[in-house]
Amino acid sequence: MTESGSSPPPPSVQELERRWQIAESLRGTLAILNSNLPIDTILTHIVNQACPLLDADAAAIYRLQLNGILSIQAAVGLEDEYIRTADIPLGISATGRAMLTQNPVYFEDVLALAEDPALSEQPLAQVIRLLVKDFSSILSIPLLLRSEAYGVLTLYYKEPRRISEEELALARDFSLQAALAIENARLRLQIEQNAVAAERNRLARELHDSVTQNLFSASLIAEVLPRIWKRNQEAGLQGLEEIRQLTHGALAEMRSLLLELRPHALEETRLDQLFRQLTEAVSGRIRKPVELRINGQPLLPVEVRLAFYRIAQEALNNITKHTQAEHIEVRLDCSPPDSRGQCSWAALFIADDGCGFDETQEDGGHFGVKIMKERAQSIGATIRIESQIDCGTQIHVLWQSEEDNQTS
């Protein structure tokens, strides 16, 4: 017993090691909060951290299902048979009671569970037999998210164990951090799903705005074409040419949309093929030819190919929507491949004779100009946009490899 006002004894080496272990474990759980790991990996990490931190021999995370049953989502130290059969109803056993009361529930002697009449029936009786065979004590802590009661973290001890208030407080802290990690993973998944839904909606709009309208226009021309042909074959030939442009444009649009749905395919497609699809799609959309010239083989790094494709895509979309251009030109010049089989520089030139815009206005008043500049900046390319009212627009993009930049 210490005298009043005297300092408490310093912690022992064992206590210091224990505190360090706790700090490291909690730090690891905090790191998971900011990770991009899938939910299953996060749950496995939590149960593996819980055992050494809380001196448990086994641990499991139970997820509350819509039917009120708690099923194991992640576990360590438990037999496969127990994991398969341990479906705990709400309010039953330590796990079910912790979920129902939303408070920790502890059994120093798991044999006391066998006295519950609700556990005497199959298959719960088998679950209790498996539990009693391997463990003596059990502690269950609810995992409470901000939006819902998620489930329960249950800890299993082979030897009879009395849980102190300090250990219980630590278990609460750990379950709180585990709940935050789970909620973070679920929110990230929801954001990803929303992004996928938004992209699908965008593609659906483009499908309606381009492909559907092109095919509808082609069908209307095809319906009246026989009557036009009888009266004027020259006008009929013009109608056939319009149908050809519309169907070619619709096919190119469909190919582009399919590539957008498969990002890896977009990365693997050659840049000259991507440009041909883009220009054919635009030609079908505006019913006017788009001049495309490619000089050299565009053997470029993936990120450069994608940036050039996105810049051209944005530029052509702006031209078709805003400029009323009669003539559009796209040209791509590339250097001969070097010893690595790649081009050391590439230049993209896009021009139209449309209405143009006022260059003195920041970014020309178009959000698309800002997007193109950001794309160019992402690969270290230079971009120059020249435009005048009623005199069209020219876009120059030049990319050079880092080695070429250093020697120039």
313-316, long-range: CB < 8 A, 24+ apart: 313/278, 314/368, 314/371, 314/372, 314/375, 315/350, 315/368, 315/372, 315/395, 316/278, 316/279, 316/282, 316/290, 316/350
Domain final position from 168, 188, 208? 188
Average pLDDT over residues 6-35: 59
Q: Which of 100, 54, 62, 90 is nearest to 78 (CA)?
A: 62
Domain final position from 135, 162, 188? 188
CATH of the domain at 300: 3.30.565.10
Split into its structural domains, the chain has a count of: 2
Cβ neighbour number for residue 251 with a 10 Å cutoff:
17
Q: Is residue 349 part of a domain?
A: yes
CATH of the domain at 78: 3.30.450.40
- Assess whether 307 and 158 both reside in one domain: no
Residues 291-313 pLDDT 10s: 999 999 999 999 999 999 999 98
- Assess whether 175 and 305 both reside in one domain: no
- Per-residue pLDDT band for 365 (boundaries 50, 70, 90) equals very low
Q: Is residue 2 part of a domain?
A: no
Q: Is residue 77 part of a domain?
A: yes
- Per-residue pLDDT band for 366 (boundaries 50, 70, 90) equals low
Residues 79-115 pLDDT 10s: 999 998 889 888 888 899 999 999 999 998 888 876 6
- Per-residue pLDDT band for 226 (boundaries 50, 70, 90) equals confident
Question: Residue 197 gets which letter from DSSP?
Answer: H
Average pLDDT over residues 219-244: 83
Q: Print the domain residue range for 61.
A: 13-188
What pTM, to 2 d.p., does this model score?
A: 0.48
Average predicted confidence (pLDDT) for the chain: 81
Q: Is residue 329 part of a domain?
A: yes
Contact 239, 221 (CB under 8 A): yes
Instruction: Extract the tokens encoding 302.
Output: 């993936």
Domain final position from 188, 216, 251? 188
- Assess whether 398 and 294 both reside in one domain: yes
